[in-house]
């Protein structure tokens, strides 16, 4: 589908048992729309034995700030951007 715009940082949805739901999340502000997240999935099983919360803490889309010089020195500058 074309997504569901929301104007809060919470969205509640009734999840049917034994059905897999897949989500992508993108932010929209005055600067435009962000890249979407990776696909996140959820499924409630009829015979579930407990509940688990899985959190994906990925926050980067690029490597740390790097440098190189003509004398062969190269590396990363953590004080500018440590990834």
What average pLDDT does range 38-43 have in this prediction?
87
> Mind listing the pLDDT tens digit for each residue in 20-31?
999 999 999 999
DSSP string, 56-79: -----SSPPPEEE-TTS-EEE-TT
**pLDDT attached to residue 53:** 78
> Mind listing the pLDDT tens digit for each residue in 58-76?
766 677 788 898 999 998 8
For the chain, which residues make up each domain, given as ranges? Answer: 19-58
């Amino acid at each position: 589908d074309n997504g569901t715009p929301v104007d809060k940082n919470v969205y509640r949805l009734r999840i049917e048992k034994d059905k897999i739901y897949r989500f992508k999340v993108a932010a929209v502000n005055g600067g435009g729309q962000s890249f979407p997240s990776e696909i996140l999935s959820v499924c409630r099983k009829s015979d579930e034995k407990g509940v688990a919360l899985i959190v994906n803490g990925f926050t980067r889309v690029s490597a740390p700030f790097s440098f190189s010089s003509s004398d062969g020195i190269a590396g990363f500058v953590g004080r500018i951007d440590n990834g």
